[in-house]
Structure 1
Amino acid sequence: MGEIVVVYELDKAVATRVPRGEERPVRHVHAAPTAPGAPTATGPRTLCGKDTFAMATTGWKPSEHPETQWYPEEYASAVCPDCDAMMET
Structure 2
Amino acid sequence: MTEIVVYELDKPVATGAPEAPGGAERRVRTVHAAPPAPGASGETGPRTLCGKDTFAMARARRQPSDHPGEPWYPEELASVVCPDCAAVIET
Query: Normalising by the residue count of structure 1, what TM-score does the alignment of the two structures yield?
Result: 0.85
Tell me whether 1:5 sits opposite 2:7 in the alignment: no
**Aligned-partner SS, 2:68:** coil
Structure 1 unmatched ranges of 5 or more: none
Q: Aligned partners of 2:52 and 2:14: how far apart in 1?
A: 24
Contact preservation (8 Å) 1:32, 1:42: yes
Query: Which residue number corresponds to residue 64 of structure 2?
Result: 62
Letter in 1 for 2:45: G
Distance 1:40-1:59 versus aligned 2 partners, 3 A rule: farther
Match of 1:28 in 2: 30
The answer to which of 63-72 and 29-38 deviates more is 63-72
Q: Which runs of 4+ in 1 moved over 3 A?
A: 16-20
Cα RMSD for the two superposed structures: 1.8
Deviations 1:2-31 (A, max 9, x none): 821100000023xx4455614300000000
Seen in structure 2, the aligned counterparts of structure 1 residues 85 and 38 have a Cα distance that, compared at 3 Å, is same
The answer to whether the Cα contact below 8 Å between 1:5 and 1:59 also exists between their aligned partners in 2 is no
**Is there any run of 5+ residues in structure 2 with no aligned partner, and where?**
none
Structure 1 CA distance, aligned partners of 2:40 and 2:60? Answer: 16
SS at match of 2:5: strand
The size of the alignment, in residue pairs, is 86
Give 1:50's aligned amino acid.
Answer: K
Aligned CA distance change for structure 1 residues 49 and 65 (closer, same or farther; 3 Å): same
